[in-house]
């Protein structure tokens, strides 16, 4: 897989962590193999992230949106991707986001 798509939310509480795990499980079950695979999560420094390895980051994001948009937290998602061997992110969502990083 050539890219890593990151879905990111603010998160600090145990409830946030439980929501992250539920969203990760839902995405793992819904993401077609052709769009990549969920490769875990991290939680800390005030943020929580789900990582998707993919050759098609925009299609993978579309699948994530379709499977997670019913979750109230989806409205606060930030998403970006980078080459698997790179450091610079390309912002996917929201369109107004100018910078993206993973702490």
pLDDT digits (tens, 9 = 90+) for 5-47: 999 999 999 999 999 999 999 999 999 999 999 999 999 999 9
DSSP-derived secondary structure letter, 70: T
Give the number of other CB atoms < 10 A from CB of residue 95: 6
Tell me the domains of the chain and their CATH numbers: 3-85 (3.30.70.1710)
* pTM, two decimal places: 0.95
Contact 40, 96 (CB under 8 A): no
Q: How far is CA 93 from CA 18, 44, 46, in A?
A: 23, 21, 19
């Amino acid at each position: 897989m050539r890219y890593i798509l990151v879905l990111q939310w603010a998160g600090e509480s145990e409830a946030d962590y439980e929501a992250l795990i539920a969203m990760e499980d839902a995405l793992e079950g819904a993401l077609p193999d052709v769009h990549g695979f969920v490769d875990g999560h991290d939680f800390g420094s005030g943020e929580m992230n789900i990582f998707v390895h993919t050759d098609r980051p925009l299609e993978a994001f579309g699948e994530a949106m379709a499977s997670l948009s019913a979750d109230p937290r989806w409205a606060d998602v930030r998403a970006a991707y980078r080459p698997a061997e790179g450091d610079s992110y390309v912002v996917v969502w929201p369109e107004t986001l100018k910078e993206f990083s993973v702490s």
